[in-house]
Structure 1
Amino acid sequence: MNTIGPAYALFIYQAMIEKGIASEELLADTQLNQQLLEAGDNIPMDGFLTLLNNADSLSPESHIGILLGKRSNILVLGSAGMAAAIAPNLRQGLHILDSYSRLHVSYLRVAVRSNLQGMSIGIDFMQDVGTTKRFHVETAFMLFQNYLETIAGEAVADAHYFVPYTKPDYASEYEALIHSPITYEHNEAHIQVPRRVLDVASPFYDNPAWIESQKFLANRLKYQTEQEAEPQPYTQHVHALLKAHEPPLPGLSYIAKQLHVSERTLNRRLQQEGTNLRKIKAALTHTWAKQYLQESELTIDAIASVLGYQDSANFRRAFRSREGCSPKYFREQQP
């Protein structure tokens, strides 16, 4: 059963009650009550979606997603949000959210990927949320803007927000609340974060608490994946960690340390899932190679060096084996 933390539902409940809306109407057909919302445990996603629709129909002058966004901060993502709040920098905080936000919100994934411009934060829906999708995107965008700007210590005007629907009739509210450019009718919901803010030291970094929070999250995810028989949990986790890094991608020792397991255990778990670190790194390095060839003016020799190859001949050989053509030919075919 898909679930979500109760914070969003409690925000809506409190705001609507303040507007004079009756609790019985607001909670109709949700199987929720005030006690459940205040208990601190995850609630069923279906009940939350019904609550969103009820609130929207009962208070049409309020845009529920914006209302939620104004009240939200990274802590609504539970233990993953708490860890992100005390991470050394945005890059590591966003990686934590990619790896662990599903512990708190099971209906969507925070998909983080480093790229030439900085880092992309994708909002991938794992469940059909119907007419409430706009609410979720609005809330997520404002939550992440709040997180970015809290850690950076400034209004971030050079990010870019991509919206997967047409421009709403209240878009002026977006422009007043979102500090960066917005593009509508994109194929997916995501935020492009500028590189300049990713590795700035966070003033909220707490090293002992950061280490303990990672251990707690890793153990909790391990328990959940065992209970739910989730396929390839270690492969997914390593993949998420490496996506948050720029090349050259880190090796086994670093990754094992981040996952709080021994190198031997990590190798064994990946083998049990039918893969190994070399395969995962090779696939992601190839993705980076194509980005550099498509979007940069670096020479092929320079790209090979950035990606961590000992010489350009090895890079050319690896690229041809995956793409079926040379790096030079691949670049020449780009529009």
Structure 2
Amino acid sequence: MKPNEISVPARYFTQLFDHLESRGMPCRDVLSAAQVRSLNDPQTRLTQAQVCSLLSEATRLTGRHDLGFELGKLIKLNSHDILGYAFISAPTLDHIIRLASRYYRLMNPLFTLRYLRHATAAELLFQPVVTLPPEVFAFYCEMLAVSVHSQIMAITQGRQPPYDAYFPIPAPGHLVRYRELKGMRPHFGDIAMQGVRIVIDPCMLDVPLAMGDLRALRQAEERCKQLMHSFSEQGNWVEWVQMMLRGAEDSQPTLDELAAVLNISSRTLDRHLARQGISFRELSLGIRNERACDLLADARVAISQIAYRLGYTDVANFSRSFKKLNGVTPSEYRARLTPGYAPAGLPAASQMPA
């Protein structure tokens, strides 16, 4: 595995292949094709290339394209190692989702989870932090949504009211399987979305859970903080901060907020970034500008909406900040931008300062 390469826990794929093997699929052939010796070690992690190979070979051998759906149904609260223990000890569903959002990297560092709670609805937003092949992206979209459904229904004992799940992929050939998920209203085909969006009724979020144990929760969460800290130290601090900033949907996380996730001071986090030759402010401005360019490329998204999603208080502030970095206003950038072409004097979106 290359230094700083994003890898995922193998334990979820172990569940899938154990399930498939029990139905006669030769999983050793799949592991061999992906150059994975074994999935039995709970500490095993898989690179993105290995995940792609595993899924490609499993699909070829089984002829099935519903493996993401299948894995989603297998995942339970206790599938998530120490974080799963924290989930089981949490006092409410709201607390569980907040824990998942805070420590999502321990489950799936290829995606971020953003939790937004409103008076009449709660949203879970899953967004990729790396570019994934279409078939792998589709696998994860289905796995994420189906696993959320399975776990929420288990937590609420099936009392969660019907809700909506929005997928940025075409309707799959096994669409009929979604009838198995009582309460979910799936919506496919919104390719403008960058990830999976789940909107639920908040009525069950604060109902006390029978297994709630605050002392056990504190112990489990302390271990989660240590693991987050350890992963960040082993990897790249800049990469981690960029991932967290890219995962913010309707706000821009502050240095203090990101440091709190790692259970360190903001000064310590800033010092780690400085050792890699950059400041948090530079990263924050760069990612915000990167997101602005991506959003402006979609003419269907209003500039006022983009300003709000990036955390600006008004459109004027957004316009001034964008022009300072790019030399043009958001409106001018959008007017001049065409696929694969950048007019003289205006860099292509992929070449804009970051």
Instruction: Give the match for residue 349 of structure 2.
Output: none
**Matched residues in 1 for 2:89 and 2:247: separation?**
19
Cα drift, residue 29 of structure 1: 2.4
Instruction: Give the match for residue 125 of structure 1.
Output: 128
Q: Which runs of 5+ in 1 are unaligned?
A: 245-251, 276-293, 295-317, 325-335
Question: Which deviates the most, 201-210 or 120-129?
Answer: 120-129
Distance 1:269 1:199, change over 3 A: farther
1:3-27 CA distance string (max 9 Å, x none) = 2222222123223323333344322
Match of residue 205, structure 1, among 196, 205, 212: 212
- Asked if residue 92 in structure 1 is aligned to residue 95 in structure 2, the reply is yes
5 Å-filtered alignment, 1:259-278, equals 266=265, 268-269=267-268, 274=280
**Matched residues in 1 for 2:315 and 2:59: separation?**
54
1:176-198 CA distance string (max 9 Å, x none) = 22522121122131211222122
Question: Which deviates the most, 161-170 or 43-52?
Answer: 43-52
5 Å-filtered alignment, 1:51-90, equals 51-61=54-64, 63-90=66-93
Cα drift, residue 113 of structure 1: 2.1
Q: Do the aligned residues in 1 keep the contact of 2:161 with 2:201 (CA within 8 Å)?
A: no
Match of residue 218, structure 1, among 225, 239, 260: 225
Distance 1:80 1:237, change over 3 A: farther
Match of residue 41, structure 2, among 27, 36, 39: 39
SS in 2 for 1:191: strand
Distance 1:154 1:320, change over 3 A: same
SS in 1 for 2:199: strand
Q: Do the aligned residues in 2 keep the contact of 1:118 with 1:198 (CA within 8 Å)?
A: no
Cα drift, residue 322 of structure 1: 5.7
SS in 2 for 1:205: coil
SS in 1 for 2:33: coil
Q: Do the aligned residues in 2 keep the contact of 1:159 with 1:180 (CA within 8 Å)?
A: yes
Q: Which structure shows the higher helix fraction?
A: 1
Instruction: Give the match for residue 156 of structure 1.
Output: 160
SS in 1 for 2:39: helix
**Matched residues in 2 for 1:238 and 1:206: separation?**
32
- Asked if residue 6 in structure 1 is aligned to residue 10 in structure 2, the reply is yes
Q: Do the aligned residues in 1 keep the contact of 2:112 with 2:128 (CA within 8 Å)?
A: yes
**Matched residues in 2 for 1:80 and 1:101: separation?**
9
Match of residue 185, structure 2, among 181, 186, 205: 181
The amino acid that maps onto 2:229 is K
Instruction: Give the match for residue 248 of structure 1.
Output: none
Q: Do the aligned residues in 2 keep the contact of 1:75 with 1:81 (CA within 8 Å)?
A: yes
Cα drift, residue 150 of structure 1: 2.3
Identity %: 15
1:79-125 CA distance string (max 9 Å, x none) = 22331232121222111111212123222222222234332111211
Superposition RMSD in Å: 3.6
1:202-251 CA distance string (max 9 Å, x none) = 2221111101112111122122222323239799989999x89xxxxxxx
SS in 2 for 1:181: strand
**Matched residues in 1 for 2:211 and 2:77: separation?**
13
**Matched residues in 2 for 1:239 and 1:135: separation?**
21
How many pairs are equivalent?
270
Cα drift, residue 199 of structure 1: 1.6
Distance 1:238 1:122, change over 3 A: closer
Instruction: Give the match for residue 111 of structure 1.
Output: 114
**Matched residues in 1 for 2:132 and 2:261: separation?**
32
SS in 1 for 2:153: helix
5 Å-filtered alignment, 1:281-300, equals none
Q: Do the aligned residues in 1 keep the contact of 2:112 with 2:244 (CA within 8 Å)?
A: no
1:54-74 CA distance string (max 9 Å, x none) = 111111246212221221113
Cα drift, residue 149 of structure 1: 1.9
**Matched residues in 1 for 2:204 and 2:15: separation?**
30
Distance 1:48 1:76, change over 3 A: farther
The amino acid that maps onto 1:118 is A
SS in 2 for 1:185: coil
SS in 2 for 1:28: helix
SS in 2 for 1:124: strand
**Matched residues in 2 for 1:197 and 1:235: separation?**
33
Normalised TM-score (structure 1): 0.68
Cα drift, residue 49 of structure 1: 2.4
SS in 2 for 1:19: coil
Distance 1:233 1:8, change over 3 A: closer
Instruction: Give the match for residue 102 of structure 1.
Output: 105
